[in-house]
Structure 1
Amino acid sequence: MKKVFIAGATGGIGSALVAELTSRQIEVIAFARTEATLKERFGENARVTCIAGDVLKDQDVLKAAQGADTIMHAVSFPYEQWEEKHMPCLENLLKVAQQMNSRLIMLDNIYAYGRAMSPVKEEVEKRPHTKKGKKRLEMERLIKNSGVPYVIAHIPDVFGPYAVNTVLYSTLQAVVQNKKAYFVGRMDKTREFAYTPDVAKAVVALALNEESYNQHWNIPGCLKITGDALQSFLHEQFNYRKKLKPATTRMIAFLGLFSPFMREQKEMMYLTEAPVIVDSEKLQKMLGHIPLTDTRQSLTETIHWIETSKSL
């Protein structure tokens, strides 16, 4: 792997992938919609070529991805745009991968597992019951039938620098501002959250391993924590004295009357009632060691980024 094209390079996972790849002296083509953001984020990194374009336009992708032997799909769309945009985006990336004889690394979530028994293994039969889970399974099948060598990485909810469209980000942002903070879901259920630099390390390690291809891989989170335990941790480590308030399914349903995003979020609330925790035994055997940052460091680095970023 000598040159990697990253679609969605300015997102939380995309930014972490750029950092991890270039730390290994691998050339990166960072592709996203906004040129100013690309240059601000990566302009001083000599191993990064910044190209702005529209992932829904195949010619934009083809032109930008020239010379890349690996394509990484780290694009995310708002829930309300999934039906319209996810399949055309994937189709364009696969078309370019076929034309250039490149590989595809798919940064996926856990929605296709549906109501699975935790910890869930990669080989379990996927039976998604939500429209978002069914969409992710449809995307998996398209990849498998494309003839393109692939790695599909299943990742829990994430947190970390630049990961702003996540459930934990809104909680930590309110903590930084010393405001009333909400925790999405029940406070007594153990949830799994993956730190974006950890995700990037594991995914790049898989991408560099010939034996990883044409398989699914679970990427575990460094945080397996309840809302109650997170509240205690924030009190002890960050002097946050307010109580976290649970954002219940009923509250999300009410907000959905006014917000398209919250309307779409409602069907995913089952993950807060019966959380899916991934089994990472297969990844452990492949890598020998799974890179996981400890709780305090991952949260400290994320909170420091929020404090110093323009996101407040």
Structure 2
Amino acid sequence: MTKKVLVLGASGGMGYSIVKELLSRGILVTAFARNREKLEKLFGEEENATVFSGDLFHLEDLDKAAQDVDIIYHSANIPYIEWKEKLPILMSNILQTAEKHAAKLVIVDNIYAYGRSGGAKVSETTTKNPHTKKGNIRLQVETQVKEFNVPALIAHFPDFYGPNAENTILNYTLLNVVKDKKSSYVGNQRISREFIYTPDGAKAIVNLSLLNEAYGQSWNIPGPGVISGEEIVKTIRKITGYQKGVSTISKNMIRFLGLFNRQMREVVEMFYLNEEPVVLNGEKYEKLIGKVPSTSYEEGLRQTIAYMKQNK
């Protein structure tokens, strides 16, 4: 029985929701991130949470945080510009720590390694054929995990939105809505794509993590279907009464910003996801566990906006 776990990247969007989900099940959680002040703000009043500020690139920090834990949840991320050099080192540190403490490893992953989908829903048996630098790095890290002697499961998610999910493209739109300023949407507003509400994703990944048979495999965790930017804006207006304009951020605009900002140069490469979205097939999860946790976009956006207003 799982008694104590470690969540890496606990101050991020998915990490925060994973901590909350675990706590709701009475599991002791060590919430790990770099910024102690933010951790205290998020979890300081939680009876079963211990906050640990540390650096994932320092093995001794990980070692100390992983004392007596049964499972390590890896939901930490680093800026795109550091992926090539640092992501394999980061994963190596986490794998070494899991092996040393005989802990299982649960990895939050994105959809980049799948590459272009050709319009079909992708399942876990779909050949991963990344065509971007970042997709190739994610696939390299996945191979790294499989070569290590640690029981691990990898969960692939579409783009996140939800409470405390600040580093996301939908958050970019919602920030100005909450401030009642003109806002923007990244990508063609007429194209439908998939998002997942972080508390749903957290519930699904925790469900998997508590089953021994889920390890040694990859899992797709889809959202509640696809939605266009136009539908998102319409839903936001319905929830909030927001009246301001929402402009479109195009690939060329991001490419132009990339002339001055290296991080934006890296974003351009992933823009294909706004033009030909990758949509996940969740049948494998449903066969093992049942229905994938699914909050409607309207309710998810309502909860997210309420959280943002409360935590300005």
TM-score when normalising by structure 2: 0.97
CA–CA distance in structure 2, aligned partners of residues 210 and 84 of structure 1 = 33
- 2:14 is aligned with 1:13: yes
Q: Which amino acid aligns with 1:132?
A: K
Determine if contact 2:162/2:304 at 8 Å carries over to the other structure: yes
Q: CA deviation at 1:237?
A: 2.6
Match of 1:131 among 101, 123, 133: 133
Deviations 1:199-243 (A, max 9, x none): 100000000112111111111113621011112222223212233
Q: Secondary structure at the match of 2:195?
A: strand
Across the aligned residues of Structure 1 and Structure 2, the Cα RMSD in angstroms comes to 1.1
Equivalences for residues 124-163 of structure 1 within 5 A: 124-163=126-165
Pairwise CA distance, 1:263: 0.9
1:84-111 per-position Cα deviation (integer Å, ceiling 9, x unaligned) = 3211111111001111111110000000
Q: How far apart are the structure 2 equivalents of 1:79 and 1:308?
A: 30
Report if the CA contact (8 A) 1:194-1:223 is conserved.
no
Q: CA–CA distance in 1 between the matches of 2:229 and 2:58?
A: 41
Question: Displacement of 1:309 after TM fit?
Answer: 1.4
Separation in 2, partners of 1:237, 1:13: 24
Which structure 2 segments of 5+ residues have no match?
none
Instruction: Indicate yes or no: 2:68 matched with 1:67.
Output: yes
Q: How far, CA to CA, are the matches of 1:119 and 1:245 in structure 2?
A: 29
**Which 5+ residue runs of structure 1 have no aligned equivalent?**
none
- Alignment-derived partner of residue 308 in structure 2: 306
Measure the CA separation in 1 of the matches of 2:226 and 2:38. 32
**Structure-1 separation of matches of 2:44 and 2:236:** 35
Q: CA deviation at 1:161?
A: 1.1
CA contact (8 A) 1:9 1:15 kept: yes
Which residue in the other structure is 1:273 paired with?
275
Aligned counterparts, 1:245-260, within 5 A = 245-260=247-262
After alignment, is 292-301 or 138-147 more displaced? 292-301
Between the aligned partners of 2:303 and 2:239, the Cα distance in structure 1 is 13
Q: Equivalent residue of 1:140, what SS? A: helix
- Measured after TM superposition, the shift of residue 301 of structure 1 is 0.9
Q: Check whether the contact 1:231–1:243 (CA below 8 A) recurs between aligned residues.
A: no
Residue of structure 1 equivalent to 2:265:
263
Q: Which moved more, 1:216-225 or 1:278-287?
A: 216-225
In structure 2, the partner of 1:102 is: 103
**Aligned pairs (5 A) from 1:182-261:** 182-222=184-224, 224-261=226-263
Deviation of 1:244 after TM superposition, in Å, equals 2.1
Counterpart secondary structure, 1:282: helix
**Count of residues in Structure 1 that have an aligned counterpart in Structure 2:** 310
- Distance, in Å, in 1 between the alignment partners of 2:3 and 2:144 is 26
Residue 59 of structure 2 corresponds to 58
Give the Cα–Cα distance (whole angstroms) in 2 for the partners of residues 294 and 133 of structure 1: 29
Letter in 2 for 1:303: I
The residue aligned with 1:111 is 112
**Which stretch has the larger CA shift, 220-229 or 141-150?**
220-229
* Other-structure match for 2:181: 179
- Which residue identity lines up with residue 235 of structure 1 in the other structure? R
Instruction: Identify which range, 172-181 or 222-231, moves more after superposition.
Output: 222-231
CA separation of 1:87 and 1:292: change in aligned 2, threshold 3 A: same
Residues 39-50 of structure 1 mapped to structure 2, 5 A cutoff:
39-50=40-51
In the alignment, which of 157, 166, 169 is matched to residue 167 of structure 1? Answer: 169
Question: Counterpart of 1:194 in 2: which secondary structure?
Answer: strand
Matched AA of 1:24: R
Q: Distance in 1 between matches of 2:197 and 2:234?
A: 20
Identity over aligned residues, as a percent?
A: 44
Cα distance in 2 for partners of 1:93, 1:79 equals 19
